[in-house]
A and B are shown apart, each in its own frame.
Chain A
Amino acid sequence: MGKIKKLFLWYFLLNKRFLKKVGLWAILLIIPLLTVALNIVSLEDNGIISVALAAENKNDALVSEIIDEIRQDNRLMRFVVASTPAEAENLVKDGRVDAAWIFPDNLAQKLNNFVNDKQSVIRILEREETVPLMLSREKLSGVIYKNCSSSLYIKYVRENALELNSVSDERLMEYYNDIKSDGDLFEFSYTNEAHSTKDARETGYLLTPVRGLMAIMLVLSGLAAAMFYTADDKNGTFAWISQKAKPFVAGAFHLIPISITALAMLISLYLSGLWIGFLRELLLAFLYVICITVFCMTVRLICGSGKILGAITPIMMLLFIVICPVFLDIKVLRPIQSLFPTFHYLSAVHNNKFIAFMAVYAVIGSVVYFLLSKILHKA
């Protein structure tokens, strides 16, 4: 009982000590601020690409209908309606939009003609051909296809089903429209099928790096703890602790600010809508905290001095941002990604295999740390 009391006392005193550090508060405040800011920003009108829509004849009913449909439900593309095709072209030339989609006069007739002779109907102007723009044209295809589909149906019936000559076009369209579908053809899933992808589909792209950035803040808090520990060790704060107990004291010293930051991260994940369930988040955070603690303690041992640690900390953070899938997933870096605990954490969100990898990482990391501390102590 006495030992447990002592443990809690140490935890309380170290907490008090760390909460006096401005640096730690900076990290703790940034995490929720970043999340709230991005949440607010993602609610506004934004888009990975912007497209100007223009009609040669603004009174064409089908064109207006298509433009309205295109502008609905857009998470990735921002649409701007230009008053004339010339204005749309200027917007592209000036770089204010990425592309312009220009709809001709008498669109309905031209779509009918397309079914017969495959003559192009819509003009698209772009500054440069990129993959997002190529994929965005699928949205246009999808909206236009509906009209082409019904035109093809009527044309085919009239040319190839003379038995249906007595049936009017209106009646034929009733047969067409009576066919009901039961929604999307595709059902999305993660490799862990127990997780729903619904939230992922509704999460704006601006929020996609948030979990990664917060995970990196945890690494930063661990490296900051390592710097504080090094300074305190140099000042003789731990001189009275036996060599056998030192690794555990060092572990506790690192664990505390990391776990405080992890708590801030969990709260922010909950507020941001990226939350995937209490038990899973807790398990991932627990394992990640252990992995980061072991990682930072090992880095501290290798660096030796506070100056070197201070110098490499920002470089290390940059490497984490580049190598781990925070903003980009650079697949060619896969072989070295497994050295970074953040990679395993981000991969484990919907893949149970990486939860096991994190546990293995923690064990191997601890063994490496203990061996290294023995070798360096002897040296």
Chain B
Amino acid sequence: MRKYFYLQLKRLIKILPPLLIACLVISLALGVFLGGMIENDKNDAKNQKFKIAVVGSTEDSYLNMGVKALETLDSTRFAVEIEQTDEVTARKNLESGKLAAYVVIPKGFAEAAYRGDIMKIKYYTTDSAVGVVSIFKDEVTKTISDILVDSQKGVYGFGDALQENTSISNIGDRMTALSLEYVSLILKRSEIYTVSVLGVSSGLSTAGYFLCGILTLFILLLGIVATGVFIKKDNSLCRVISAKGGNALWQVASEYLAYFLLIFLIVSLVLTVILGFTDLSDVIPDISWLVLADIPLLLIKLIPAVALITALQFLLFEISSSLVSGVLLQFLTAVALGYISGCFYPIYFFPESVQKFSQLLPSGIARVHISNCISNAFDNKLVLAGAVYFAVIMLITVIVRRYRIVGKE
């Protein structure tokens, strides 16, 4: 059976160049995706994620002052950039994706506000609520509404109290003075709390998590590139080899080992390039401990995760009977498992029940194992669970192969 194993390796080496090109494209696409996910989460002042335009009657000096104050003083300036523009430009920028939203302040807003009549501000957005930050717009705008309403209560309550209990004539000026106090309180609202960043002592940072999720997804998608080699349209070859003494177990073992070596080689190449020859430690602090010399050991530690995912992929090859169904099955399984296992969205986005279910999936186990390897927190129990899973999957694969050999056409 050694000969059969070498034959499988030869077959794979023959198609290695196109396989590597396909892997390169997948790596690039996932790299862009990872970059986008990390960018979305960055919080420095140069990377405001939420650009909002203010459109409308800013000829009022108080309104202008308010917008300037939001731009320079307010704590949300680290997440929100505000610009003033006209509605046509704002709509165009919203549709082209340069803006997350724009607000239109109606004409006469300031004068009406002085009279205690708060007009509605229209908030225009798009349907592409696919970024985490844009989803927060509801929370932020509700808070702004609540804050302004509470301030309004203070200012106009004061006005009513003066009206009913005094005979002073400059109630408007007194209310204006109080409203300026409220503005000061609003702009300093973030001082009501102190924030201490404890650091990521156990587990991964968000960027590190995304790296492990994308790496898991990458391995899941690699099954597609070898589909053409391992899909068997008929069982005649399996029967011939069985007749010559190579039973189902040997056949599966030889083919699987060749497949595993291929995938492991590709993963090793990609990781060596990314972790060994690029400096991403600023963006992904969890890999700051890794130097080129650490990579071979890391790759060895990753073997259980790669073995588990490749075993599942091999089972899918075994149950597919045509190239089309094989490719579809590999792709759909990769995307579905990747989604549920927290490769597209962090797993903590999902309810507890889904998080627990994900831990039972091979992709979920693989992702957690990869995360443990990156954060240097090896979990033997998880490796054992993965090994049991691997054995079960391979057993099913052998049974399917046996059925192909002895079963009717």
Contact = CB atoms under 8 A, between A and B. Distances in A.
Interface of A: 21-23, 26-27, 30, 34, 41, 44-48, 50, 75-77, 89, 92-95, 98, 101, 111, 114-115, 118, 120-132, 134-142, 144-146, 148-150, 152-153, 156-157, 160-161, 163-164, 166-167, 171-172, 175-179, 181-191, 197, 200-201, 205-206, 208-209, 212-213, 220, 224, 227-228, 231, 306-307, 310-311, 313-315, 317-319, 321-322, 325-331, 333-334, 346-347, 349-351, 353
Nearest to B90: A191
Interface in B92-119: 94-98, 103, 116, 118
Contact of B139 (A76, A101, A129, A208): A76
B37 A328 contact: yes
Contact of A208 (B129, B144, B174, B331): B129
A139 B139 contact: yes
B351 A46 contact: yes
B217 to A, nearest CB: 9
27 contacts: A48-B132, A50-B348, A95-B204, A101-B193, A121-B193, A124-B194, A130-B206, A131-B133, A145-B189, A148-B185, A149-B185, A157-B158, A163-B165, A164-B161, A164-B166, A167-B161, A176-B157, A181-B153, A184-B120, A184-B141, A188-B123, A191-B95, A200-B127, A208-B129, A209-B130, A315-B25, A321-B335
Contacts of A347: 95, 126-128
Interface of B: 18, 22, 25-26, 29-30, 32-33, 36-37, 40-43, 49, 75-76, 78-79, 91, 94-98, 103, 116, 118, 120-133, 135-136, 138-154, 156-158, 160-162, 164-166, 168, 174, 177-178, 181-182, 185-186, 188-206, 221, 224-225, 227-228, 322-325, 327-332, 335-336, 344-345, 348-354
Given A131-B79, A142-B142, 10 more contacts: A26-B332, A47-B349, A124-B196, A130-B43, A132-B41, A134-B78, A160-B178, A167-B165, A182-B118, A318-B221
A3 to B, nearest CB: 32
Contacts of B331: 220, 313-314, 317
Given A41-B354, A123-B194, A142-B146, A134 B328 contact: no
**9 closest residue pairs by CB, A with B:** A142-B143, A44-B351, A95-B203, A176-B157, A153-B154, A314-B224, A149-B150, A175-B157, A185-B145
A124 B193 contact: yes
A181 B325 contact: no
Contacts of B148: 185
B152 to A, nearest CB: 6
Given A161-B162, A315-B26, A185 B149 contact: yes
A128 B199 contact: yes
Contacts, number: 377
A311 B18 contact: yes
Nearest to B206: A130
A205 B135 contact: yes
Contact of A163 (B32, B168, B194, B325): B168
A176 B149 CA distance: 11
SS of B interface (majority): helix
Given A121-B192, A150-B154, A127 B324 contact: no
B323 A310 contact: yes
A201 B138 contact: yes
